[in-house]
Chains A and B, each alone.
Chain A
C-alpha cells in the first residue's frame, strides 16, 4: 500500500476502498492523505469498483489494486495521454507487468496483459466477476490501447511464490460464477491442454514458465470439476479423458505444438464426417504416426467401441 499510494501521490484525489482490512491499510491510507471508504468484504472484486467510480470529483479515473503501482514518470505520462488523446477516447488500455515469484513473466497471457484502468468517469463498467475486463459504455472505438514497449505500464506484484499463486487461483476458481447450463468437462480438459501450450514460454521465463503453465492448466480442470458439481453432477466426467481436445480454441491465432494441433485437426475432420468407419480410420492412422500416444488412443478406441 505505501508504495502504491506514493506512486500516485500526484493525483488530485486518491480514494482507497477498504474491504474490512484487519491490518494497517486504513491507517496508512489516511496518513498519506487519501480518503478511505469502506465496503463489506465480497468474493468477487470487479463489480465492487462500480459502486465507487462516481465518488471521485474529477473527470478522469485511474483504478489500481492494492498490489499494483505506477512508475516514477507516471504523472507526466498520464497527463500527456489525457491531453493528447482525451478528446478522441474515453478509456485507455494499459499494459501490465506481472511479477510472479520474484520474476516478471513475459509469456503470452501474462504480458502485455492489457488492463482498462484509465477512463472518463461514467464510461466504463465492470461485471460481478474476478479479473475480467470491463465494458466500455460509450463505444469500443473510444478505447485507446497503449502499445508496449516504451509506454505507461501498471506494475503488478502478483504472487510472492508459486505456492501463493496456487492458493490464489484456487480461491478465484471457488469464488467464481459458473453458468447453469452448457457444462462440458471435455472442453475444460481441452482448455487445460491449450492453456499449457499457450502459457509455456521457456525462452522468456525459464523454468518458472513450466510451473505457471502447469498451474494454469490445472486451474481449468479444477474449474471444470467445480462447475460439474454446481450443475448437479449430471454430466459424465470420464468422457473427457477419451478425447482430450476441443473443437473451439480460445486462442485461435496461436500455433500449438505438433501433437495437440494435429489431433485437433483430426477431430475437426471427424466432426464434419461423422460415422464409425471414419473414426476408426482416423484413430488407427493417428496411432501409427504417434506411437507415444498409444495409451490415450487405446482409451479412445475402447470408448468408441462401447
Chain B
C-alpha cells in the first residue's frame, strides 16, 4: 500500500512537470491540443494526490508502523479520529496534505475559469504546476537523487539531503516493523489544533491562484482588471481561510498552552500573520484598480509579496532558521526552500519591471480627501505592521550574522511598535468608508463625522475618569488607563460610523420601498454584499480589538501555593474579587496513554459561590510529556483561567496560577462576525446579477479587453 502511495505521488510529480512544460510550449506554439493535454495532466495530478492521501490515511488508520511516518505520529492507544488528523501532525504528512490541497485548488480554478480565461489559463497552469512540482519533489525525495553527484563533488551536505528523505517522504519504509509508534505530539490533540492546520494551509495554498493569475496576466500582457475580477473571490476565500486559521490558532493557544495568552509573536505565528497583512492590503487596494484603474503596479507588488511570504512562511516553519515552538524537526530542506523562494520572487520582479509599460494608471488621484488616498494610507499602515513584524522576526538572525550578537525579540517589542500602528489602522478603517471616490466635500464629511467624534470623546473621557477610579485598587495599572481609553475611543468612533452607515442605508430603503426596518436591513445587505459584508468584517475587527486591548492592558495574574483548604484571591478589574479554595488533588479517568491528575478548586466571587474548577495535569506516558490543561470560567466580561503548575506531598500542597482575562471572549465573538462578514462579501451573486459584471461598467474608460472573446 505504501509503495502504491509513493508511486502515486511520484507519478503526480512527473505529470505536474509535464503539465507546466506542455502548457508553456502549447501556448507559445499555439497548439491547443497540447494546452488541453496540460490541463488534463493538472487534473490528473489532483486525482493522483487524492489517491496518495487516501492511501496515507489508510496506513495511519491501520497502524502500519513499518511506514516511518505512521510510527512517528500514531500509536496503538490513539483513537481513530486522532490517527486521521495525524496526517498533518508532522513534516512529511503535512507536505503531502499541503500539495494535495494545492492540487485541488488548482483543479477547481482550471475547471471553473477554463472557458472564460483561455489566454491566461496556460500560464496559470505553468505557475501552479511548477509550484506543485517543487513540493512534490520534496515528498518523493527527488532531491536525494542529487546526493550521489554532490557527494562526488565533496559536499558534505549531500548526506543530510539523503537523510532528509526519510522525513519528507510520508511513505518511507523502515527495514523492520516497530511494535508501537510514538504517537502524536500531545499538544496537537485538541480540536482547535485539528482544525487549525488544514484551514491555515487552505489560506496559504489559496494564494497561489491570485498569484498565478497575476503572473499569467503579466506574461500575456492582459494587465487590465480582468484577472483581478476573476481572482477576487479566490483571494477572498484564501484570505478567509488564513484569517480563520489565525483565529483558530489563537483559540488553540489560549485553550491548550496554559499561559493565559493567545498570541506570543512567535516566529511561526508571525510567518502566518505576514501574508495576512499584505493580503489584506491587497484586498483593499485591488478595489481601486477595479473602480478607477489605478495602482496596477502596486497591486502586482502586493500579490507577489503575499505569495513570497507564503513560501517564506513554510520556509521558516520547516527550515529551523528561526527557533520557535512550532517548527518541525530541523531539516536540510531549508536551503531548497530558500532557492525556490528567491527564484520565484526574482522572476516575478523581473517580469514586473519588463511589463511596466502596460501597467500605466488610467486615472490620477484627485484629492487627499478621497477613498483612493485613504486606501493608500491603509496600505502603508498594513505594510508598516508587516515590516515591523518581519524585522522583529528576522532580527535575531540578522543580529547574529551582521552584528555578531545573539538576541531575542519578544512580545514587548511587537506590542510597543505595532500597537499604535494598529490603532491608526482602526481609525482609518472608521473614516475610509465615509470617503467617496475621487473627492469628498468637506462640509458633508464634517457632518458625517460629528456623531462618531462625539462618541469617541465621550468614551475616552468616560473610561479615563471611571477607569482611574476603578484601577486605583490594582497596583501598576494606572499608567495603562490613558492609552486604553484612547484605544477604546477609537473603537467607539469606528463602530459609530458603521452603525451610522447601516442606519443610512436602512432608512433610505425604508422610505423608498416602504419595507419594515428589519426587512430593509436584510435586503440592504443581500443586495450590496460586498459593501455591507465588508462593514460586517470591520465590526468583527472592532470586537476583536475590544478583546485584544482588554487582555493586553488589564490582564491580572497571580501564582500561589496552597495547602488543602487554603484559598487564593485574585481581583478582577471589571467584576469583583475571586476567591479560589483548594479542595484536593485526584486521578481522573483518561485514555490509556494518559495519566490525568485534576485539582478541585471551589470558586466564589465577592463571597458568593460561583462554581468549581478542575485545572488538570495530563502526563502522556509514551511521549513522557506533561501537559497542563487550564480550567476556565467564561463570561462576556472576562475569563477566570486557572492552571495547576505543580504539587508536592502527594497533593496536600499545590501551586496554582490564576489569570483574569478581561473581555477575552469578545475576541472569539468578533472572529465569528468577521468570518460571517467575509462569507457574505464573497458569496456568489445569483447569475442574473452577475451578468452586468462582464460588460464594462458605465462611466469608466475601458482599456482591458476581456480575453474570452
Binding between chains A and B = no
